[in-house]
Amino acid sequence: MTTTSGKTIRRWWALFALPTFLAFIIGFIVPFILGVYLSFCDFNTIKDATPIGFKNYAKAFQDSEFWVALGQTVSFAIVTTIIINVVGFAIAYMLTKAIRGATIFRSIFFMPNLIGGIILGWVWQLLLNGILQQWGASLTLSKNYGFWGLVILVCWQQIGYMMIIYIAGLQAVPTDILEAAEVDGANGRQKLFDIIIPLMMPSITVCTFLTITNGFKMFDQNLALTGGAPANESELVALNIYRTFYDRMGFEGVGQAKAVIFFIIVAIVAMLQNKLTTSREVQA
């Protein structure tokens, strides 16, 4: 339904909606549609594309490195989502209590989020290689070092971000409910698991959504920390797609097909995850 004022505003579409929409066409709609189309084509540049049906997808499905990278990405997303949210929540829970210096601790834990992924990758390369060196090893020696190094880096980076969201959520938990529970004789453990965590489900939904999608899309840190070394074994799927596009001649179509598969997976995960946690939300 459009109101009278709405009708007047509608006439101003060229000023209000058009600039964003034009940029959106250039920056998203055309690249997206073209991307889907090109995944069914053989091409070296956008202009010389010839349709070849599902051959790119067949090649993508046969590429074992792609599946290894995808599997690794799934493990990475799961591991980081669990660690970041458990630790982030625990720190937030403690820092909403009367602890001296809590404000400074919050600031410090959050800080890594402001620094770019490429920069962070190099920062941690120095530290982790320095530690591994004590045992004569290095990050690029085995894919396990690269994988767990990336897990540590990303947890260190994102725990503070989720902590901020959890703190805001914890501060919104009504104190009268907690006081009533205390009167009824609930102990700290019961209050946390039976009252606070159920009431915190909206924050938990948001944070797990953010960490899972961040995990799937991880690229910059992966590139700067190991670049996939040794022999592309530590690469995650975003880096695998990038390499298929730009490091392998004649594989542009396969790269685009992988990108479409990747997009579908990310979209499904986001929707599933959202549905799952939203159904657990309760009202105070």
Partner 1 sequence: MNSDMNAEKVRHPVLWTTLFTILSLLWIYPIVLVLINSFKNKTYIASNPFSWPSGKEFAGWSNFTTGVSRTNFFASFGWTVVITVGSVALILLCTSMAAWWIVRVNDWVAKTLYTLFLFNMIVPFQMVMYTLSGLADDLGLNTPWGLWIVYLGFGAGLAVFIFTGAVKGIPRDLEESAMIDGASVPRIFFQIIVPLLRPTIVSVGILETMWIWNDYLLPYLSLDTNRFMTISIAVQYLKGGYGSVDMGAMMACLVLAILPIVIFYLFCQKYIVKGVLAGAVKG
Within residues 199-258, the interface with partner 1 by CB under 8 A covers 203, 205-207, 209-210, 213, 216-217, 219-220, 223-224, 238, 241-242, 245, 252, 255-256
Taking the CB of residue 90, how many other CB atoms lie within 10 A of it? 13
Taking the CB of residue 273, how many other CB atoms lie within 10 A of it? 17
* Site for partner 1, residues 39 to 58, rule: CB under 8 A: 45-46
Q: Does 82 bind partner 1 (CB under 8 A)?
A: no
Using CB under 8 A, pick the residue from 61, 129, 155, 190 that binds partner 1: 129
* Site for partner 1, residues 156 to 185, rule: CB under 8 A: 156, 161, 164-165, 167-168, 171, 175
Give the shortest CB-147-to-partner 1 separation in angstroms: 18
Q: How far apart are CA 85 and CA 260, in angstroms?
A: 29
Using CB under 8 A, pick the residue from 51, 116, 193, 282 that binds partner 1: 116
Using CB under 8 A, pick the residue from 48, 50, 53, 101 that binds partner 1: 101
How far is Cα of residue 104 from the mean position of the Cα atoms in its chain? Answer: 26
Alpha helices in the chain, H assignment, sequence order: 4-10, 13-16, 18-24, 30-38, 55-62, 64-95, 102-110, 117-133, 143-171, 175-183, 188-190, 197-199, 201-217, 220-225, 237-246, 252-278
Q: Does 71 bind partner 1 (CB under 8 A)?
A: no
Q: Does 96 bind partner 1 (CB under 8 A)?
A: yes
Give the shortest CB-63-to-partner 1 separation in angstroms: 15
Q: How far apart are CA 257 and CA 259, in angstroms?
A: 5
Taking the CB of residue 223, how many other CB atoms lie within 10 A of it? 19
* Site for partner 1, residues 13 to 42, rule: CB under 8 A: 13, 15-17, 19-21, 23-32, 34-35, 38
58-77 residues labelled b (16+ CB within 10 A) or e (exposed): ebbeebeebebbbebbbebb
Helix (H, G, I), strand (E, B) or coil at 42: strand
Cβ proximity to partner 1: between 6 and 250 the closer is 6
Please give the size of the binding site for partner 1, defined by CB under 8 A.
Answer: 103
Q: Does 126 bind partner 1 (CB under 8 A)?
A: yes
DSSP state of 99: -
Using CB under 8 A, pick the residue from 48, 50, 53, 103 that binds partner 1: 103
Using CB under 8 A, pick the residue from 52, 58, 78, 108 that binds partner 1: 108
Using CB under 8 A, pick the residue from 86, 90, 99, 180 that binds partner 1: 99
Exposure of 143 by Cβ count < 10 A (0-12 exposed, 13-18 middle, 19+ buried)? Answer: buried
